[in-house]
Amino acid sequence: MIICSLTFCFCSVVNDAKESVTILVVGASGDLAKRKTYPALLALYKASLLPSVTIIWGFARTEMTHYGFRHHLKPFLNDADECVVDQFLSICNYRPGSSYGDWESMDSILKASPSRNLVVYLATPPNVFAQSAAVLKKTLTLTPTNGFVRLVLEKPFGSDTESCETLLRTLNNQEWLEQQLYRIDHYLGKEMVQNILTLRQQNRWLNSLWNKDAVKSVHIICKESFGTDGRGGYFDRYGIIRDIFQNHLLQLLTLVAMDMPEKSCATKLRNAKLEILRKIPVINLEDCLFGQYEGYKDDSSIENRDTVTPTYACIRTWVHNETWRNVPFVLEAGKALNDRLCEIRLHFRGVKNGQPNSLVLRLQPVPTIFLTANVKTPGFSYNPVSARMQVDYGQALMPDAYTRLLLDVFRGKQANFVRDDELLASWKIFTPILNQTEQLNIVPEPYMRGSTGPDKRVEFLRSVGAIPSWSPPPSAL
Measure the CA–CA gap between 415 and 271, rounded to whole angstroms. Answer: 10
Cα four-point dihedral sign 109, 114, 119, 123: negative
- Which SS3 state, helix, strand or coil, does residue 37 take? helix
| Residue 50 one-letter amino acid | L
Q: What is the largest CA-CA distance in the chain?
A: 82
Task: Check if the beta carbon of residue 221 is closer than 8 Å to that of residue 332.
Answer: yes
Cα gap 411→432, rounded to integer Å: 38
User: What is the DSSP pairing of strand 92-96 with strand 3-6?
Assistant: unpaired
Q: Are 226 and 335 in contact (CB under 8 A)?
A: yes
320 is catalytic: no
- How many whole angstroms separate alpha carbon 202 and alpha carbon 377? 31
Q: Which of 66, 186, 219, 248 is catalytic?
A: 248
Residues 6+ apart with CB under 8 A from 321: 276, 279
Helices (H), 143-290: 161-173, 191-202, 204-207, 232-236, 239-240, 250-257, 266-277
**How crowded is residue 38: how many other Cβ atoms within 10 Å of its Cβ?**
25
DSSP string, 296-364: GGG-TT---TT----SEEEEEE---STTTTT--EEEEEESSBS--EEEEEEEEPP-TTSPPPEEEEEEE
Tell me which DSSP letter residue 432 carries: H
Any idea which residues carry the catalytic annotation? 248
